């Protein structure tokens, strides 16, 4: 039991930056005695609310700023014209940070899996939206960055009265600010072979659970990636290798997803069906849901996983 006790101390120091209090230590020692594995204990401490608050605070404090030859005033004017905002972004210290679908802390959490040095590497960013991860990779010296999305940007906000001019592709706007060489294509994930190119790394953030056939999509991606796929998305909070499917008539499917898989389910798909040699869950965080969702047993909190699949 002394070795188990030491491991629990290590998990507290690693994820909570403190030693366990007596009640916490007793709680986890009892769980181990009752049959929980140390891996399960580690994951529980890592995904606890205390760990997440500490983790996201650190990621929010990370410095990331892109460079533009335009003045801060010009950048600010450009940002003010962007009405539909998904990604946080900072250019010359000017931040696009209001009324976002995501946040800086979340994006920097996602980015932890992307290598710091991408010299001579080629990148494919699937479901690129505003292009934050594409521009991040370019700033890390990637040789070539291709971004694809199948969104109809003129109807992204679900307001059919908006014209393309009113609701443009933000990636192209920010690309012009940065004088970037990122290449954008409106392309379905199932058609990645049409790019006629292989990529060292493929990014697939917040995409998989919207797909009607994730297995087929990952198989097609496997054919064009030479190193690793970095993926993130909502996951079922279970160790079982299962997936929840929302039927074609489900209102939840339209507003949220088609499928949600467990961590082990996604890993098994990568290893057993898509020719990846290794697959791991890099990290897990908890997120709030706007409403009760069937796959989450009616709870308004769920899990998001960050994964790496390597050839």
Tell me what pLDDT residue 99 has: 82
**For residues 121 and 203, what is the distance between their CA atoms, to the nearest angstrom?**
13
pLDDT digits (tens, 9 = 90+) for 44-63: 898 888 998 999 999 999 99
Under 8 Å between Cβ of 236 and 230 = no
Alpha carbon distance 77, 100 (integer Å): 18
Cα 275 to its chain centre, rounded Å, is: 22
Find, among 277, 231, 227, 279, the residue nearest to 120 by Cα: 227
Share of the chain above pLDDT 70, in %: 91
Whole-angstrom distance, CA of residue 171 vs CA of residue 153? 10
Instruction: Kindly give the pairing relationship between strand 199-205 and strand 122-126.
Output: parallel
Q: How confident is the model at residue 291 (pLDDT cuts 50, 70, 90)?
A: low
pLDDT computed for residue 13 by the predictor: 95
pTM of the full structure: 0.88
Phi/psi region, residue 289 (left: phi>0; alpha: psi -120 to 50; beta: rest), is beta
Residue ranges matching CATH 3.40.50.150 in the chain: 60-310
Q: Can you read off the two tokens belonging to residue 254? A: 């339209």
Q: 159 or 307: which carries more pLDDT confidence?
A: 307
Beta strands 144-149 and 89-91, pairing class = unpaired
Please state which architecture CATH assigns to domain 60-310.
3-Layer(aba) Sandwich (3.40)
């Amino acid at each position: 039991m002394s070795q188990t006790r030491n491991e629990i101390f290590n998990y507290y120091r690693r994820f909570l930056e403190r030693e366990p209090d007596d009640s916490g230590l007793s709680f986890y020692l009892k769980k181990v005695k009752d049959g929980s594995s140390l891996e399960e204990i580690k994951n529980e401490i890592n995904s606890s609310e205390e760990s997440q608050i500490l983790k996201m605070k650190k990621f929010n404090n990370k410095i990331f700023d892109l460079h533009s030859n335009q003045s801060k005033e010009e950048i600010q004017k450009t940002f003010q014209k962007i009405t539909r905002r998904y990604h946080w972004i900072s250019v010359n210290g000017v931040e696009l940070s209001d009324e976002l679908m995501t946040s800086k802390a979340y994006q920097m959490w996602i980015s932890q899996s992307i290598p710091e040095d991408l010299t001579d590497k080629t990148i494919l960013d699937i479901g690129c939206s505003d292009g934050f991860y594409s521009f991040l990779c370019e700033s890390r010296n990637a040789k070539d960055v291709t971004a694809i999305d199948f969104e109809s940007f003129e109807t992204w906000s679900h307001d059919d009265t908006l014209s393309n001019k009113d609701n443009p592709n933000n990636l192209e706007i920010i690309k012009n600010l940065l004088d970037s060489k990122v290449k954008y294509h409106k392309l379905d994930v199932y058609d990645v072979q049409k790019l006629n190119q292989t990529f060292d790394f493929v990014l697939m953030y917040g995409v998989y659970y919207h797909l009607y056939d994730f297995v087929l999509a990952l198989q097609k991606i496997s054919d064009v990636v030479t190193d690793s796929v970095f993926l993130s998305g909502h996951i079922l909070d279970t160790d079982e290798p299962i997936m929840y499917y929302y039927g074609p008539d489900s209102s939840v499917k339209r507003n949220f997803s088609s499928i949600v898989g467990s961590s082990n389910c996604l890993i098994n798909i990568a290893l057993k069906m898509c020719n990846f040699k290794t697959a791991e869950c890099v990290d897990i965080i908890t997120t709030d849901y706007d409403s009760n969702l069937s796959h989450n047993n009616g709870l308004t909190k769920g899990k998001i996983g960050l994964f790496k699949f390597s050839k």
